[in-house]
Amino acid sequence: MKNAEPPKSTKSNDLKKNPWKRKPKTKVNKPSGPASRKEHKTKSRDRITGNYSGNPRLLAAEVILELENNRSTLDRLLEEKSEAIEALNSRDRGLFNTLVYGIIRWRGRLDWILATFSRKPLAKLDQAVLAALRLGLFQLLYLDRVPQSAAVNTAVETSKILGGRSTGAFVNAVLRNAVRGNYRTSWPGPRKDPLKYISATQSIPAWMADRWLQRFGFHQTEQLCQALNTIPDIVLRTNRLKRKPELVIELLKDQVQSVRICSTAPDGIRLHGLGRPVSSLAGFREGLFQVQGEASQLVAYLLELAPGMRVWDACAGLGTKSCQMAIMMQDKGLVLASDNNSTRLASLEKEKTRLGISSIRTKRLDLLTISEGPACDRFDRILLDAPCSALGVIQKNPDVKWFARQDRLPEYGKRQLAMLNQASKFLHPGGILVYSVCSFEPEETVEVIKAFLKSEQKFDIYRPKASHWLRKHITPAGFLQTLPHRNKMSGFFAVALRRHS
């Protein structure tokens, strides 16, 4: 049996005296009769559906539970529960975020250890019980400041609330067994079964690990998974319409543990140790910066933008790249930001106002159904930041890895190719179209471009006259490619395509 100690922290504090010793029972007036039972049930339901009373563990466990049951994205769940999250004090909000992201990030590793100490297969457990077990074990393994008894007790109480009172004894027994066994389990051997070893120790679905082992080999796959499991820094893109990056750094240096210029993106600054929302930072309301990952910032430089151009952001989403392009063009010209979701476009309208941008126009449309140019006959530049599997941003969105499906990758590729064919119709001869995805899977990247160039003879791959900081991320084939373990940023793919006739 090997020690199952987590890679990020160790647990040295032993149980003092006997925290499992039962306390003397106190007399409690239990509810009796139908009316009282109904009232008790209603109170429990109220706690589950939003009355968290400042309980970050209960709120975190419910997010984990709803994520499993509803297959909703984490971002959407956090938005739905924003009122309850904001009601927490800053310390509890930090604990909530640590629990939610940590449990999702290390779910596979936690489950491997839990399986050692549970007398029932995890697959047969109620999801509420499993959520409570993950909550307890994560605290035991990763949060040194939480006493072992408190980690177990809070998990038991959470289980009772979410899964019913009868579940508490089981959760208590499993976690007590784990503590007594010092979390020891038998990990798969890296040489005998590298796939199981990577999947279990690095908390990665087996199908992903299998793909990456075949492409990158064992050591690089392990490094890639380790990078995806690290907590990312916050990266901002400064708004040069209002302030240079150096001046924004000067403004923020006393509000975070550290802040520095990004190693590649010239307008990016990296924040470490930010213990509060970005929106609370000095300069946010004034529109001095916007949250945008470093790899994401590189994509727009492939377009070789200039003031006065007509640019189309064909899948704008929340419009982060739309705003970036408008700023790079000194807010002169036109950036048409289109999307099929009106809510996202409404958010973009607010964001461009905050940043002080006037050259962006928004339009709701579905790229796959339009037959005529969305605003003018042709554009000088087009950005197609296509919907994708998002496997390149698992570090930021750890829920992606658990709900992505291998059989959907070819489906993404077909849809991306259709979008690329459609967008290419509205580009001026001599213009540049950039295709990008936050993925490094072949079905969504190289294979899409190969298929497009085979069918569209008017286009070829264009190598921009880029600075050295950008050229180092462009492959010999002309693709912009970043990988988390090699470049210390998200996994992105982009390519510039020029229409020559």
pLDDT at 258: 94
Calculate the CA 140 to chain-centre distance. Answer: 24
Task: Report d(CA 384, CA 374) in Å as an integer.
Answer: 14
% of the chain surpassing 90 pLDDT: 83
The residue count for the chain = 501
Q: Does the annotation mark 376 as catalytic?
A: no
Q: Does 158 score more than 60 pLDDT? A: yes
Banded pLDDT at 376 (limits 50, 70, 90): low
Task: Report d(CA 431, CA 378) in Å as an integer.
Answer: 9
**Domain annotation for the chain: domains and CATH numbers:** 33-180 (1.10.940.10), 194-228 (no CATH), 234-291 (3.30.70.1170), 298-499 (3.40.50.150)
Q: Does 378 score more than 70 pLDDT? A: yes
Tens of pLDDT, residues 442-478:
999 999 999 999 999 999 999 998 788 999 999 999 9
Q: Does 492 score more than 60 pLDDT? A: yes
Residue 190: C-alpha distances to residues 111, 185, 195, 200, 305 (Å): 19, 15, 8, 11, 48
pLDDT at 76: 92
pLDDT at 375: 53
Tens of pLDDT, residues 25-57:
444 444 444 333 333 333 333 334 444 557 999
Instruction: Provide mean pLDDT across the span 351-365.
Output: 97
Instruction: Provide mean pLDDT across the span 271-298.
Output: 95
Tens of pLDDT, residues 72-103:
899 999 999 999 999 999 899 999 999 999 99
Q: Please, are residues 458 and 499 in contact by the beta-carbon 8 Å criterion? A: yes
Q: Does 147 score more than 70 pLDDT? A: yes
Supply the Cα-derived Rg of the chain in whole angstroms.
25
Banded pLDDT at 20 (limits 50, 70, 90): very low
Contacts of 356 by beta carbon, 8 Å cutoff, 6+ apart:
239, 241, 242, 287, 331
Catalytic entry in 225, 323, 388, 438? 438
